[in-house]
Amino acid sequence: MVCCQVMEYRHARYKKALARSPNILGPGEDGEPVVLTAEEQAEADKLFAKETFNVVASNKVALDRRIRDNRHPEYDELMISVLEGLRIISAVMCKLLCIVYR
């Protein structure tokens, strides 16, 4: 049951992200690369040795940036049918285990 609740939460969060305005432009939107100036790149190289990731580029990208959705258009329908199947299997297994334990 917890798995289904998590999937429902993720689905709701995904739908909320889809409703975000498509007119927002900025570094990293739609999976586009972040371009650094020469000064920023020098700072990024210096910090990379310490932090092991590009702090400068990371700071330029919005936390709620939009990324491209490369999934198949029928992905949502498929996941819902898989989850429904798992619910049925889980209920049947639970009943079978109750019978076995008696």
Give the whole-angstrom CA distance, residue 61 versus residue 35. 11
Segments in the chain below pLDDT 50? none
Q: Which tens digits make up the pLDDT trace of 32-49?
A: 888 899 999 999 999 998
DSSP per-residue string spanning 29-48: GGGPPPP--HHHHHHHHHHH
pTM of model > 0.75: no
pLDDT at residue number 75: 77
Residue-range domain boundaries for the chain: 25-70, 74-102
